[in-house]
Amino acid sequence: MESIKAVIEEAEVRKIIDIFDKKPPGLAFNETDALIVKARTEDGRQIGSTFYFCMKPDGTFEEEPLGRDAVKARRHRLATFLRYFNPTDDIAKYNIKERANELNGRIVQVVPNLHDIEIVVPEVIAHV
């Protein structure tokens, strides 16, 4: 499927307990926060992506968490997204809490699938 462009309208970090009454199945105990990204396509459709992680007290997050492969994959997806759309040299020092709003106005690629539209997170960027 062909990708289309969208502009990020809002990016915010929220606690999972503020989003859900009960933690969704599949999220680990060390996934306590979420980066919620909302974007709008040129034809007016709104789309979003949610990236789950555990924020440290200083506002950063650990790219290499302890735990299952699914947790690691979600964390790498977040790090890749941030490296691509909000370039940073050192993801370990990236204060996601303070800098999430810097994503606003960035152009992202989105891909329609059978049921929805999703933001493309480029996999070509290797993590260090």
Give a yes or no: residue 26 inside a domain.
Answer: yes
Question: Looking at the domain assignment, is residue 127 inside a domain?
Answer: no
* Residue 125 belongs to some domain of the structure: no
- Indicate whether 124 belongs to any domain: no
Q: Which tens digit of pLDDT belongs to each residue from 79-90?
A: 888 888 877 778
Compute the mean pLDDT over every residue in the chain, rounded to the nearest whole number: 84
Q: Which of the residues in the chain have pLDDT under 50?
A: 124-128
Q: How far apart are CA 79 and CA 94, in angstroms?
A: 10
Whole-model pTM: value is 0.84
Number of domain units in the chain:
1
| Distance set, CA 41 to CA 2, 17, 35, 46 (Å) | 14, 29, 20, 6
Say which residue the tokens 């933001």 belong to: 119
Q: Is residue 115 part of a domain?
A: yes
Within a domain: 17: yes
